[in-house]
Amino acid sequence: MTFIADPRSNRVGLTNPVVLETWGDGEIEIGDFSGGSSVVISSRSKVTVGKHVLLGGNVRIYDNDFHALDPILRRNPVEDRGHIKSRPVIIGDDVLIGTNAIILKGVHIGDRSVIGAGSVVRCDVPANEVWAGNPACKIKSLKDGAL
C-alpha cells in the first residue's frame, strides 16, 4: 500500500493530520497510489479505497454512526457501543473526492467517479458520474471516465 500526501500539495484550510481509525473488527484497506491530506477514515466494519484515488483536504469517510440513535443508550458509553450501526464503504479505482466531502456508511462509489467539494454522500454513486451537494446528487455522466 502507498498512501501519498505530497509535500508540494496545497495545504490551505487543512484542519488535522491524517487519521485512520478502526474499532473492534473494523478494517481499512487502501489501494496503491491513493492519497489525501488531512483525511479521516473511521471503520467499525470495513472501508475499502481503490487504487489511484485522490481524497481532497479534510475528506471524512465513516462506515458507522458513532452513537446509537436512542438517547437513553447514548448516556452510557458501554450500552451505546453495542447499538452503533455500521455498513462497509467501498470507493472504486480512479475516484476523485473533493475537499471537505463526507462519505457515510454503506456507500459504494464506482470507478472513475467524482464527488464535489463539500458533498455529503449517503447513497451509492455509479461509475463514471459526477455527484455534488448535500445530500449529494448526480450532476452529470462522464463519457469513458473523462469530462
Just list the catalytic residues: 67
Nearest CA to 25 out of 38, 44, 11 is that of: 44
SS3 (DSSP) at 30: strand
Q: Please say whether the beta carbons of 27 and 11 come within 8 A.
A: no
Q: Which residue blocks in 22-105 are alpha helix, DSSP H?
A: 71-74, 77-81
Cell numbers found for residue 88: 462497509
